[in-house]
Amino acid sequence: MPHSVPRRLRRSLLAVLTGAALTAGALATAAPAAAHPGSGGGPRDRAPLVVQTAEGAVQGSRPGDYRLFQGIPFAAPPVGDLRFRPPAPVQPWQGVRSATAPGSPCPQVASATNPTSSVDEDCLYLNVTTPSGLDTRRTDLPVMVWIHGGSWRTGSGDRYDAGKLALEGDVVVVTINYRLGPFGFLAEDDLSADLGAVGSGSAGLLDQQAALRWVERNVAAFGGDPRNVTIFGESAGGSSVCAQLASPTARGLFDKAIAQSYSCTADYATLDEAEVVGERVAAQVGCTARGAAQVACLQDADVATLLARWPAVGGSFVVGGSSLPVQPADAIASGAAAGVPVVHGNLSDENTLFTPITPLRSTGATPSPTLTVEQYEAEIAARYGDRADEVLALYPADAYPSPLRALAEINSDAGSALSTCSHVDAYETLAERRRADRVYAYQFRDETAPKLLDFPYPGYPEDAEHASELPYLFPDLFGAPLTAEQQELATTMVRYWTNFAATGNPNGRGVPAWHRYSDPSDVQGLDVASDGGVGPVDVAADADCAFWATSAAA
């Protein structure tokens, strides 16, 4: 039987029909961390602004009721002969280093969803946020290490204002940079031979581990407990959490994990596959020698040229070196992954962000904002062949505000690492793993949440699209303030996230019960009170995962 219009489409459909679509091209992007209100003075402010780390002293700032230390180097600048190589130790310094401004973002190209452009390879910096009134004798606060998203090619840790998490959750938050694009993930045969067992394409993963080793050495000086570290991240950052779970070289560097919006059972390119791409990139930047000469050429290649030649799709973690020897799904299923408590989840409408900008399989072109029913049906036929009629029976175009929105619904339910059904697969694999520990699953469902990118298309409500949950953890990230009702949801989410960081269990006083995962009905829905509130939802039923489990892959 055809779907009825899903719950999460109702309100947005009304908005579209009444002309509430936003101005064409409107774009809200993440901004550097801003100060919270507060004088920063008075007897609560016992914690010093100068902190001694193992590498040298740093002086931070007190922009509100929290301390902020920015631009602390955790590894040597990965330049010259260190390009593509595992991160090297940072050189200690004398005196007090200013930590009142962020370090450079890693090399990246500005885009519709990313305002930052950089060609500075000296970028391995992190930022620390702590409660301002911390008793200087304390070294027992839970530590949360944020790994940013951005398709493995954009972003930086300083964009995320961690003051809300630190203050409301009484935690220390560390946000980090790591090498992106070709500098973090280029695999190439000569580079692999030069690097030996570690393989090429692993620099970005190892940068994250170098930041975690900095935390291990230094976080006690900021009031944090190095024996109680939670890694968390979203999108490419969520995939990073999954990769670190599977990485034998990350073992012991963290105690809990929160993976947001990227399935932990998604596969990555193997070293052989990634080296094929790397050879193509090398040729395009003029590096066609072999052996040491090829390595030297790649290390000398122009930053902007390498960025320009990096493929638009792909280019993430590489499986086959010593830091990621097997796919995360295989590591989890076999018990080789870290046996730590995990929170894992996605958003109900992840792919409304990506569907309008992803080429159709039927034509090779991006879909028109006014995609017709015939074009939609042709795309389903191109994807699913003999089963196209079954897919169309479940997702008929006339059950949605537009054919384009119907296509986004399919993309959000199944067929990608962001989709609901791919996440259900990850929950099941995590829950059944050997050395199993607690697993808590969630789905963010507030369809009115601030958006990373707004498409003012007729009949295209974006609802709870990819990244929409981030402003609930990091205030004002997209420049749109939350409503009072959304603030209530944000408070609940911060409590869940920081409770979990403290104890390995998101439950606690003042929040609805969140059941440990045993089946898809245990997924905790996160929504505003007027549209479902917070409580268990059966996401597998909502997304027809039983059907997709027997259907051809998207």
Q: For 498-549, write each residue's pLDDT tens digit.
A: 999 999 999 999 999 999 999 999 999 999 999 999 999 999 999 999 999 9
The one catalytic residue in 36, 148, 344, 466 is: 466
CB 554 within 8 A of CB 351: no
**1 pLDDT above the threshold of 60:** no
> In sequence order, what are the beta bridge partners of 230?
144, 256
The catalytically annotated residue of 202, 235, 247, 348 is 235
| CA atoms of 403 and 460, how far apart (whole Å) | 9
Kindly give, in sequence order, each residue whose CB lies less than 8 Å from that of residue 507, ignoring residues fewer than 6 positions away: 499, 513, 514
Catalytic-labelled residue, pool 55, 188, 350, 469: 350
Do the beta carbons of residue 141 and residue 170 sit within 8 Å?
yes
Residue pair 168/293 in contact (Cβ under 8 Å)? The answer is no
* 192 or 20, which is more confident: 192
Band of residue 36 on the pLDDT scale cut at 50, 70, 90: very low
Query: Using N-to-C axis directions, what is the helix angle for 403-413 and 373-384, rounded to 10°?
Result: 30
Give 190-231 pLDDT, tens digit per residue. 999 999 999 999 999 999 999 999 999 999 999 999 999 999
Q: In whole numbers, what is the pLDDT of the chain averaged over residues? A: 91
Instruction: Output the pTM of the full model.
Output: 0.91
Copy the structure tokens of residue 186.
Answer: 């280029």
CA dist., res. 428 & res. 443, Å (int):
15
- The domain limits of the chain are 7-29+347-484+519-550, 65-86+99-307+316-340
User: pLDDT at position 139, please?
Assistant: 83
Average pLDDT over residues 68-77: 98
Domain formed by 65-86+99-307+316-340, architecture: 3-Layer(aba) Sandwich (3.40)
User: What pLDDT digit, counting tens, does each position of 388-434 carry?
Assistant: 999 999 999 999 999 999 999 999 999 899 999 999 999 999 999 75
Q: Judge contact between 169 and 178, C-beta under 8 A.
A: no
Structure letter (DSSP) for residue 395: S
Whether 379 is catalytic: no
273 assigned to active site: no
Taken as a whole, the chain contains a residue count of 554
More confident call, 379 vs 30:
379
3 is catalytic: no
